[in-house]
Structure 1
Amino acid sequence: MDYGSLLVKIQTHLSAQSGNNGQSYCFHNALHTRDVVKATEEMSRHYKLSDEDHFIVLTAAYFHDLGYLSGGATDHEQRSADAATQFLRDNGVSVEVIEKVEGCILSTRMPQSPRNLLEKILCDADLFHLGKATFEERNKLMLQEAEKVQGVKIDKSTWRMLTISLLEKHKYHTDYAQEHLEEGKQVNLDALKKKQKKSQAKVEATSEKSRKPERGIETMFRITSANSQRLSDMADNKSNILLTVNSIILSVIVAVLLKALDSNPHLIIPTCLLMMGSVTTMVLAILATIPKIPDGYFKPEDVEQKSVNLLFFGNFYKTKFNDYQGAMNKAMDDKDFLYGMLTKDVYSQGVVLGRKYRLLRYAYGVFMFGLVLSIAAFVVAIILSK
């Protein structure tokens, strides 16, 4: 078989698909594939591989990251191997060669697990950049890719720690890579550790200088609590408005419309729609204002574990004063306990507000659509009755 011509065909085939990469994969792109192929060729020449073995490992290098284009990083090795298998079958390559190409690609799955020289060559070529001078630039591209794919900003210090862990655990499998790349990888690792050490020292210095401003924290809790109370009052007022308006509507329905249904049967459906909308709105408005109160007790172990919020009356209104006073004295002597209670209090207010406003949203929605639907029904009923 003419392996040289088939390699040219592989390059053409993959070049046609490279435009599908998009902008998300700024590391695992055509440039990375070219680097891996170049490193593979370098080691293939060193080990004086046969034409068939050279074809196998080079084909695996070309295809090893193709799976990124059809599903991202997860299981991309298997998709890459499947794509290579399909292409080679279509071009009449033997099953034995195909299986070796597939084995090389799958061996790059982290943690790498090469079983023979060809697989070791591809694994080392895939991470060739760890020992090169271009490592810092390639690592930045890897960070950018991770941020774009995950859709979140990754802290540089966190990424640096992950990279340090990778370099410390990684080992090259071939003698060639160990001889030519281990020293460079150690240089890159030392540089990362040096940067991380400086970053941590800077964070510690900043932390030492910026102690928690207690007055600012207390102001924050006070303002947050006041805002929550104001929003709760607004929610109650909105509920009262809905209850008042719908009470008037129900009164009109009972006093006027229900009496007129005997002589105007065509108004039965619109009247029922209006009544159902009003009743449903009132039920939702009432649910939004119904308070939920706990049993009024707290246990001594709750105080020991700092898990009770002594600032909410629902947790202590049935508790004896002496027990409550002792718990509060302990809380006032423990800043973490006190701030923890304030945090729980703010959070609890937020949970209650979330429930209130969710029910109010439903209530206003039912009221609006019910009113529009009822009026439309009245208009249709009057027109049809003529």
Structure 2
Amino acid sequence: MSRVGSDQVDEVGARLLRRWREPHRYYHDVTHLAEVLAAVDTLCTAEDVGRDDHTVAVLAAWFHDAVYSAEQHETNEAESAALADAELARLHVRGEIRSRVGELVLDTVAHDLSDEQARDAARTVLHDADLWILAAPVARFDEYCAQVREEYAHVPVVAYAKGRGEVLRPFLVRDHVYRTRHAREAWEGMARENLARELTRLAG
């Protein structure tokens, strides 16, 4: 990144925070952002991730839900990736870094990295950091479930239970929820317990 004034960086940060604080967000808000950023730092330290990969993962964390609407969720990630490219270009971030950040943001559509994609340390870090919430302590995980339901309050109960189950069940049937060694060792067991409990609730 070429040198830019701190005022320019602050302006981009302020615009992002305004997005993360939009009133329709119940889960995808500044608390989620802070949790993902903390998980990124934890994983980068535990996995000895290099500085460039750490930077890419942090930038992607800031942008990954910058555009968020439960009612138009099909385009959230694509619009967030486009926003990342535009805002980082204003800060004169190199095109290579912008492209990588965009890839990481788009990864959060399916949260399912191929083996080839998982060779990129930044991609595995953001993948696992965004899914940290699945391994949160019971009270926080249950709060997360309630917050997501609040964001989708416009969806009838039966349709929500079906759709939410379809989102969560694949994580439970995979060999591993997480891609990094640290997350598998420290978070995997709790994530599976939480997922099983929520799927049972959704099944009524």
Alpha carbons of 1:160 and 1:85: their partners in 2 closer, same or farther (altered >3 Å)? closer
| Aligned match of 1:152 | 155
CA distance in 1, matches of 2:202, 2:15: 43
- Gapped regions of structure 1 (runs ≥ 5): 200-386
CA distance in 1, matches of 2:143, 2:186: 20
Aligned 8 A contact 1:63 1:80 in 2: yes
| Aligned match of 1:238 | none
Structure 1: which amino acid aligns with 2:16?
A: L
Residue 127 of structure 1 is aligned with which of 124, 128, 131? Answer: 131
| Aligned match of 1:337 | none
| Aligned match of 1:109 | 109
CA distance in 2, matches of 1:195, 1:74: 25
Aligned 8 A contact 2:9 2:91 in 1: no
| Aligned match of 1:59 | 59
- Equivalent pairs counted in the alignment come to 192
CA distance in 2, matches of 1:125, 1:60: 11
Structure 1: which amino acid aligns with 2:132?
A: F
Q: What TM-score results when the alignment is normalised by the length of structure 2?
A: 0.79
Structure 1: which amino acid aligns with 2:123?
A: E
Aligned 8 A contact 2:70 2:151 in 1: no
CA distance in 2, matches of 1:36, 1:22: 20
Q: What does 1:92-241 correspond to in 2, within 5 Å?
A: 92-113=92-113, 115=117, 116-133=120-137, 134-147=140-153, 151-155=154-158, 158=162, 161-162=165-166, 165-169=169-173, 171-192=177-198, 195=201, 199=204
CA distance in 1, matches of 2:86, 2:107: 19
Alpha carbons of 1:194 and 1:83: their partners in 2 closer, same or farther (altered >3 Å)? closer
CA distance in 2, matches of 1:63, 1:57: 10
What are the superposed Cα offsets for residues 264-311 of structure 1, whole Å, 9 maximum, x if unpaired? xxxxxxxxxxxxxxxxxxxxxxxxxxxxxxxxxxxxxxxxxxxxxxxx
Identity, in percent, stands at 23
Deviation at 1:180, TM superposition (A): 1.1
Structure 2: which amino acid aligns with 1:16?
A: R
Report the structure number with the largest CA radius of gyration: 1
Secondary structure at the counterpart of residue 97 of structure 1? helix
Aligned 8 A contact 2:8 2:91 in 1: no
- Structure richer in helix, relative to its length: 1
CA distance in 2, matches of 1:68, 1:14: 12
Structure 2: which amino acid aligns with 1:61?
A: A
RMSD of aligned Cα (Å) = 3.0
| Aligned match of 1:226 | none
CA distance in 2, matches of 1:47, 1:77: 26
CA distance in 1, matches of 2:8, 2:36: 15
Structure 2: which amino acid aligns with 1:46?
A: A
Q: What does 1:1-386 correspond to in 2, within 5 Å?
A: 1=1, 9=10, 10-19=12-21, 21-23=22-24, 25-68=25-68, 72-113=72-113, 115=117, 116-133=120-137, 134-147=140-153, 151-155=154-158, 158=162, 161-162=165-166, 165-169=169-173, 171-192=177-198, 195=201, 199=204
Aligned 8 A contact 1:7 1:55 in 2: no
Secondary structure at the counterpart of residue 58 of structure 1? helix
CA distance in 1, matches of 2:199, 2:67: 33
- Gapped regions of structure 2 (runs ≥ 5): none
Structure 2: which amino acid aligns with 1:31?
A: T
Aligned 8 A contact 1:160 1:192 in 2: no
Aligned 8 A contact 1:130 1:167 in 2: no
Q: What TM-score results when the alignment is normalised by the length of structure 1?
A: 0.44
